[in-house]
Amino acid sequence: MYSNVGLAQQYDPSSNVDSLPKFYEYEAGFITKSGCKIIPSAYYCLSDGRYYFAVGDKKNYFYLDTNEVLQYQNIELGKDQQFSAKKRAGFARRFWLGTVIVGGPLAVALGAGGMFLIGVAANGPYDGGGFFVGGLAICTTIFYKVLKSAFINVREHNAYKEAVHYVCL
C-alpha cells in the first residue's frame, strides 16, 4: 500500500537542508532522511526500532525504521514496546480486552451497588440513591478508561503484526 501524494512529499536529499519540508505548527508527522514528509492519520507505537502508524484509513498499517527518520513533530512516541522480545504479546493483549469487556460491566454494577450500601449504612435507608449514582459515574468512568486502553493495546499489536514498510512516492 502506498500513500497518496498529498500526504507524502518527496524532496531531493542532496539539496540544502533549508529546502527540506517543514511542518505547520498544528501538523503531526515525520520527515525522513530522504526528504519525505509524512502526515499519519494515526500513530500507534514504537517497537523494536520502528515507528508504527497509519496513513489514510486507520487499518493501513505502516512502519518506518527509526534510523530513517530525520525529524518528528507533535507525536508522543511512548516507550519501546519490544514486541519481538515478548512471547504471546498479542494473546495477552486480546485476553485482557476480553476480560475487560466481560468483567467490566459486572465491576461497574458491583461498585455502584457497594456505594449504595455505603450510603444506606451511613445515612439511613432512603439516602443511598445519591451514593449509587455517584458510584455508577465513578465506576463507569474507570471502566471506559480501562476499556479504551485495552483497545489501544490490541491496535498497537495489530499494527506491529500487519505493517508494511512505508514507501514515499
H or E stretch covering 55: none
CA atoms of 101 and 8, how far apart (whole Å) = 38
CA atoms of 4 and 132, how far apart (whole Å) = 52
Provide the CB-side half-sphere exposure for 78 (13 A, CA). 15
- Determine the pLDDT at residue 16: 45
Quote the pTM value: 0.70
- Determine the pLDDT at residue 123: 82
Work out the pLDDT band at 83, boundaries 50, 70, 90: confident
Q: Are strands 8-9 and 37-38 parallel, antiparallel or unpaired?
A: antiparallel
- Determine the pLDDT at residue 144: 96
The average pLDDT across 36-48 equals: 89
Q: What percent of the chain has pLDDT over 70?
A: 88
Work out the pLDDT band at 59, boundaries 50, 70, 90: confident
Tens digit of each residue's pLDDT (9 = 90 or more) over 111-156? 999 999 998 888 877 778 888 999 999 999 999 999 999 998 898 8
The phi and psi torsions of 162 (rounded to 5 degrees) equal -105, -5
